[in-house]
Amino acid sequence: MPRLRLLFPASVAVLGLGLALATPARAHAYLQYADPAKDAVVKEAPAKVTLDFTEEVAPRFTRIEVFDAAGKEVDRGDSHPEGKGGRRMAVSLPPLAPGKYEVRWQAVSADDGHHTSGRFFFTVAP
């Protein structure tokens, strides 16, 4: 019986250490950064919208779309990865008129295929 009393605390300590050192599983690619930022008012129309995600995305299944106030898509339809690491995507824009624009995005995690999506607005006001 004394051995069991010593074994139990040691087992709990090992289990606790294992849980503390475990790496959390990544499940979804969430939006981490946007340029232009959510609700930004910019003086000059951006040439592109750039989004950074919390983990690597699958470019083939990840999209960025930009719409004007009338609901017309205004981006160039060229969502593409930028830089190294697979976390940054961008879409090119033509010259934009002053006004409010909506960015809609859909991302698919390269790690596990989970989908995320969202939207935000920015305004061009020279």
- In degrees and rounded to multiples of 5, residue 31 shows phi and psi of -70, 125
- 42 is a domain residue: yes
| CA separation for the pair 117, 31 (Å, rounded) | 9
Please state, as a whole number, how many other Cβ atoms lie within 10 Å of the Cβ of residue 82. 15
59: which 2 tokens? Answer: 């470019």
Q: Looking at residues 25-50, what average pLDDT do you find?
A: 92
- Residue pLDDT, tens place only, 87-115: 999 999 999 999 999 999 999 999 889 99
Q: Does 35 score more than 80 pLDDT?
A: yes
Per-residue pLDDT at 15 exceeds 80: no
- Residue 103 domain-assigned (yes or no): yes
In a domain, 60, yes or no: yes
Q: What is the pLDDT of residues 48-91, one digit of tens each?
A: 999 999 999 999 999 999 999 999 999 999 999 998 889 999 99
- Is position 44 within any domain? yes
Structure tokens at 102: 């909506």
Residues 121 and 20: their CA atoms lie apart, in Å, by 39
Q: Could you tell me if residue 90 is inside a domain?
A: yes
Instruction: Please work out, in degrees rounded to the nearest 5, the angle formed at the alpha carbon of residue 9 by the alpha carbons of 8 and 13.
Output: 120
Give the domain extent around 90: 31-124
- What pLDDT score does 83 carry? 87
How many Å separate Cα 31 from the centre of its chain? Answer: 3
**C-alpha radius of gyration, the chain, whole number:** 22
Number of domains the chain contains: 1
- pLDDT given at position 5: 58
Residue 26 is assigned to a structural domain of this protein: no
Buried b (16+ CB within 10 A) or exposed e, 28-42: ebebeebebeeeeeb
Looking at per-residue pLDDT, the higher value among 121 and 27 belongs to 121
Which CATH number covers residue 114? 2.60.40.1220
Predicted structure pTM score = 0.78
**H-assigned helices in 33-121:** none
